[in-house]
Structure formats: C-alpha cells, structure tokens
Amino acid sequence: MQERRRVEEFVNKIICGRSEEVLPAIPANSVDLVVTSPPYNFGQCYANDPSGDTREWNDYFKSLNAVWEECYRVLKPGGRIAVNVQPLFSDYIPTHHLISNQLLKIGFLWKAEVLWEKSNYNAKYTAWGSWKSPSMPYLKYTWEFIEIFDKATHKKAGRREDADITDAEFKEWVFARWKFAPETRMKEFGHPAMFPEELPRRVMKLFSYRGDLVLDPFNGAGTTTFVAFKLRRRFVGVEVSPEYCETALERIRESERQKKLFAEGFKFLSPEPEILRWRC
C-alpha cells in the first residue's frame, strides 16, 4: 500500500502524474469537493496521451472506476463530486449513465443532474448516420450533463459566513438547466476539450464554502484549479501531461500578478501554488 502523506503536502499543488497513482497517497476524508470532466475517449487530441483518447471501452471504464473509488475515499462525509460528461452520439455508449452507475455502486448518494445547455454548439458535427432515412440516424446533443453525488450524507458542514453565493445566483442555479457558452480559448491553452470557467464557478459556489479543498483528478489545462484559486478555495489538480501542468500553474500565477498590481493589500495564496512532479 502506498504511504499516506499529510494533506498539507498536496494543498495548492498541480500534481504531474496519473490519478490512479497519485490519489492513493492523499489522506482519507480530506477533500470537500471534486469537480472534473474525464477524457471523452472518442479521439480528442490530448497532450501526452499515447492512446489517442481511443481506449477500449472496458479498459476506459475500469480506469475511471479506480479514480472514482479514490475520490470517494479522499472526500469528507458530506463532500460532493460533480462530473461533467458529454453524451456520445455515434458510439452508442451512454457514458453519463455508466459513470453514474459506477458512482452509485461505490457508495455515493445521488444528489442531482444538471443539463448544461450549449445552444447549437454540437451541431457542427457532420455525422448524420443514415441521411434522410429511419435506418440508423444519429441524434445530436446540444447539451452536456453534470452528474452530482454526495458522500455519506446530503448535508455539508460549514460556516454560514464562508458561503459566497449571492441571492440571485442561488435562485438561478438551483434550476438544473444551466445556459452558458462553451470555452472559446482552447487553442490558446492547447487543449481540445475544456469546460468554461462558468461551470466550476457555479459548482463551487453552490456546493462548497470558501476555504474548502477542491480536487480535480483530470485537471487538464487547469480551469478547475484556476477557478478555485479565484474563489479562495484551496485546490489539488492532478494531470498526466507536463505541458498542461505548466499551463495550469501559469494561469494562477498570472492572476496573482494581476491582483498584486491592482488590489491593495493583496497577499499571495498560501501555500504558494507549485507543480509537484509524481511520475511524468
């Protein structure tokens, strides 16, 4: 069994390594919220991905299950996990249902399912299946799912003064159909499948408190960790690509530099964000 470390060793770290190897070292019952979107597994061009994002499906779900089991272990009772999943229109794999079933079998309690409406964004895909025929048409999705589960209890402990959601935000966001645009800067960050900052911002403000510890086991170019930093949450981001780890850290450091310039009395995040290299 891998040696457990103190949770402080992971706080505000971008960890370069595989979640299956990194997460077992994080202490149990130490994380407040998991926000993530796993690799799609339909041919996206991720950096440092030898599989080409096209793993055999049983292997893909087996790997995901190992990560979900560790997420359950490291979450505190009352902690939440929010998984963003895009439906597949061509492989007939109900990914969001299968991931939800995995989480239920592990012991998570179902809390909610949010539809993230992206207007006609996915209409750009040109696969039609059987054109103008009932033989085998493909249905296209203009939305993605956010599957939300709790650990052990539906009620989360926290101080009222650390809740930072406004009246207007709460009234709008408890309706489980969220409308906002997809990420438009994926080329800038060199990542083909990023969710926009608005997604983790809503999840964090609705389901966590300031000062909570937020984990993303598939951190990519660092949107989750960046938003956690901006919302004054502590964070742990795990990502196998050294390139994306550098991008994630630079996004936070640039934001810190801007705040130091324009915010009187601003203090750098403590502990200072850095990359922890596991096996990469």
For residue 164, being part of any structural domain is answered with: yes
Q: Please state the rounded mean pLDDT for residues 64-79.
A: 98
Say what the pLDDT of residue 186 is. Answer: 66
d(CA 72, CA 103): 9
Say what the pLDDT of residue 218 is. Answer: 97
pLDDT digit string (tens) for 119-177? 755 555 556 677 888 988 877 788 999 999 999 999 999 999 999 999 999 999 999 99
What are the two backbone dihedrals, phi and then psi, of residue 121, each rounded to the nearest 5 degrees?
Answer: -55, -50
- Quote the tokens at residue 113: 């399912």
For residue 136, being part of any structural domain is answered with: yes
- pLDDT-derived band at 266, boundaries 50, 70, 90: very low
For residue 104, being part of any structural domain is answered with: yes
The tally of domains found in the chain comes to 1
Q: Please state the rounded mean pLDDT for residues 204-226.
A: 97
Residue with more model confidence, 190 or 110: 110
Q: Please state the rounded mean pLDDT for residues 29-51.
A: 76
Q: Please state the rounded mean pLDDT for residues 54-81.
A: 94
Say what the pLDDT of residue 53 is. Answer: 47
Q: Please state the rounded mean pLDDT for residues 223-243.
A: 95
For residue 1, being part of any structural domain is answered with: no
Strand-pair partners of 145: 85, 115
Q: Please state the rounded mean pLDDT for residues 61-85.
A: 98
Say what the pLDDT of residue 274 is. Answer: 83
d(CA 226, CA 182): 17
For residue 24, being part of any structural domain is answered with: yes
Rounded percentage of the chain residues whose pLDDT exceeds 90: 62
- pLDDT-derived band at 86, boundaries 50, 70, 90: confident
CB neighbour class for 81 (10 Å; exposed up to 12, middle 13-18, buried from 19): buried
For residue 2, being part of any structural domain is answered with: no
b/e map of 244-279 (b: 16 or more CB within 10 Å)? bbbbbbebbbeebeeeeeeeeeeeebeeebebbeee
One-letter-per-residue 3-state SS of the chain: CCCCCCHHHCCCEEEECCHHHHHHHCCCCCEEEEEECCCCCCCCCCCCCCCCCCCCHHHHHHHHHHHHHHHHHHEEEEEEEEEEECCCCCCCCCHHHHHHHHHHHHCCEEEEEEEEECCCHHHHCCCCECCCCCCCECCCCCEEEEEEEECCCCCCCCCHHHCCCCHHHHHHHCCCEEECCCCCCHHHHCCCCCCCCHHHHHHHHHHCCCCCEEEECCCCCCHHHHHHHHCCCEEEEEECCHHHHHHHHHHHHHHHHHHHHHCCCCCCCCCCCEEEECCC
Looking at every residue in the chain, the average pLDDT score rounds to 86
Give yes or no for residue 189 having a pLDDT over 80.
no
What is the span of the domain harbouring residue 65? Answer: 7-277
pTM (predicted TM-score):
0.88
For residue 204, being part of any structural domain is answered with: yes
For residue 21, being part of any structural domain is answered with: yes
Say what the pLDDT of residue 20 is. Answer: 95
Give yes or no for residue 245 having a pLDDT over 50.
yes
Q: What is the CATH number of the domain that holds 194?
A: 3.40.50.150
